[in-house]
Structure 1
């Protein structure tokens, strides 16, 4: 049996450093510049970093090879100290075969992104490099009005500090988007509404382990392509975190993906599970608050059903503020996560 690789935390940037901004999935900054330019400005003004763009950062339809070349250039440049994804997409899977693992291992750097960037996170995990699930330039940094304080605090800690960071329970959230091509969108923060905190299942122990997971839809694609998914024993002792996208997958489909992980012998390997607060609204699928809450409850039920069948005794925490949610907290991918059931606390190591 081969265990998971030993993990390296890359050195952190400092204010004044140059950081790469890349588009490994989609060149949406070229179509929707308003949130992107706002995100770049916040990197400069609020975090003191100097963003550096690459040839495909604003290019729609860039080939997988071109996008891989940008990643290689960003990691290999000694003047670049961190790498940010502009946004997600739907075909980063095709970039993975073009990546040079030896090059990136020789120049490890903190990588920030989520959604389709789960592909790159899993690839970095298999390379033994800790990355950071969260904080895209167009969504979190480009949030209308202002960064959410919870998001800003987590991102600042993940960027500039090392050591434990305790996640907080959001008591209000937003899931309603406004058009990114309308300047009026960016004049005020999005409205928020109250939400419940975390929901605990089997909170009878303390678990600490290396994290693995990400967006559940992207994990299903990796499973189908048989890419970057290791043998079950590699996940022994890992804390599994998962979340769903703005596509709002059917609860039955989420259950099916988890069932596949169960049948593969992976789901039972995790001693704890974190489930992100699901997004229940999008411009293409607009639900009332009651309908969105019902969707989230159906997802919780689907995940709980899979855990009942494949990992009935495992502690799990639902509605953690990770992934496609606002506010969003950064999760180290391959870093240490501590789930303290009796104390109802989650601590990550940045």
Structure 2
């Protein structure tokens, strides 16, 4: 593990690598991908650069590792962004050249299965960014959510503090990305619920670590990119969020239970828990079912904290991860959680 370094930020006109370190879904679902590329270029002023596996389904871990190496080694590439997540990025990690990546640090943006690469960069000493993808955030039907766009723009271009704010409205349902009609109107949203605070109310400032809970659980099981000396996480701010696979409350509790039994959960004086995804195309919950799912997940998280980390301050339903709008949070960078003032400030 190396001391954290914020890589230099890109400027409008710079080239940005667009990679698919997990799934090559741009090749199957080009509509949100092409829309995301257009916004990246026209609205953000960056020049997207694709690689051999960016649109390739079924690429090998070696092929994807080669693309990561090529993007980081190229001095004309000033940032890297994932097209989307997936489910097997853990197989890419053993093939990565840490010294090559460390020698040319660049801002990386991704989430979900990209938790693997975020944790890898954390141990490499490179501050990355949990959030931002071409297909989901940049390729959002209708228009980008203003909260997402402002956060992503600041994280890309502007160093310094950025205060997060709860969404006044959010979207939980999805539409078919293969249907052109999906992209001709704004998605339906519902009123925001604000944040829920739990535990001792104080001010905590520290490096962030964590990510998608299911992916993080896989890293813990495999013993990859997890520090043997758990004191490395002392004083850090834990980020956790769940995916569209909709793990039930018992499963969420068991994953946190494992972290607790390992002695990991209590290392973090603060937890930011993302607003849970409660609906998917495979599990189309009613509003009542969605509300129940969210309540049960919150209860599971708090039960685990009460058992293993009663001194941890938690902020629930923060708008990051598998939600829309999505706030970008530095991964390995600094977050300040002010419980009494109900404020969260991150350092971009």
Task: Tell me the TM-score range normalised by the shorter chain.
Answer: over 0.9
Distance 1:204 1:296 in 2: 23
Q: Confirm whether residue 343 of structure 1 aligns to residue 312 of structure 2.
A: no
Corresponding residue to 1:283 among 275, 281, 284: 281
Q: Which runs of 4+ in 1 moved over 6 A?
A: none
Distance 1:291 1:5 in 2: 44
- Per the alignment, residue 196 of structure 2 pairs with 199
- Per the alignment, residue 295 of structure 1 pairs with 293
Q: Confirm whether residue 212 of structure 1 aligns to residue 209 of structure 2.
A: yes
CA contact (8 A) 2:200 2:311 kept: no
Corresponding residue to 1:242 among 225, 240, 243: 240
Q: Confirm whether residue 20 of structure 1 aligns to residue 17 of structure 2.
A: yes
- Per the alignment, residue 189 of structure 1 pairs with 186
- Per the alignment, residue 31 of structure 2 pairs with 34
**1:213-242 residue CA offsets vs partner (Å, 9 max, x unmatched):** 000000010011111111311100100010
CA contact (8 A) 1:203 1:342 kept: no
- Per the alignment, residue 226 of structure 1 pairs with 223
Distance 1:157 1:85 in 2: 18
**1:66-97 residue CA offsets vs partner (Å, 9 max, x unmatched):** 00000000000000000010000000000000
Distance 1:62 1:277 in 2: 32
Distance 1:105 1:347 in 2: 27
- Per the alignment, residue 48 of structure 2 pairs with 51
CA contact (8 A) 1:56 1:66 kept: yes
Distance 2:3 2:276 in 1: 31
- Per the alignment, residue 119 of structure 2 pairs with 122
- Per the alignment, residue 62 of structure 1 pairs with 59
- Per the alignment, residue 103 of structure 2 pairs with 106
Corresponding residue to 1:320 among 291, 294, 318: 318
1:313 Cα offset (Å): 2.0
1:203 Cα offset (Å): 4.9
Distance 1:203 1:173 in 2: 28
Q: Confirm whether residue 96 of structure 1 aligns to residue 93 of structure 2.
A: yes
Q: Which runs of 5+ in 1 are unaligned?
A: none
CA contact (8 A) 1:203 1:344 kept: no
Distance 1:220 1:311 in 2: 18
Distance 2:232 2:261 in 1: 16
Q: Which runs of 5+ in 2 are unaligned?
A: none
Q: Confirm whether residue 150 of structure 1 aligns to residue 147 of structure 2.
A: yes
Name the SS of the counterpart of 1:155 in structure 2: helix
| TM-score computed with the length of structure 1 as normaliser | 0.98
Q: Confirm whether residue 176 of structure 1 aligns to residue 192 of structure 2.
A: no
CA contact (8 A) 1:174 1:193 kept: yes
* 1:304-315 correspondence runs (5 A): 304-315=302-313
- TM-align CA RMSD: 0.7
| TM-score computed with the length of structure 2 as normaliser | 0.99
Distance 1:303 1:253 in 2: 11
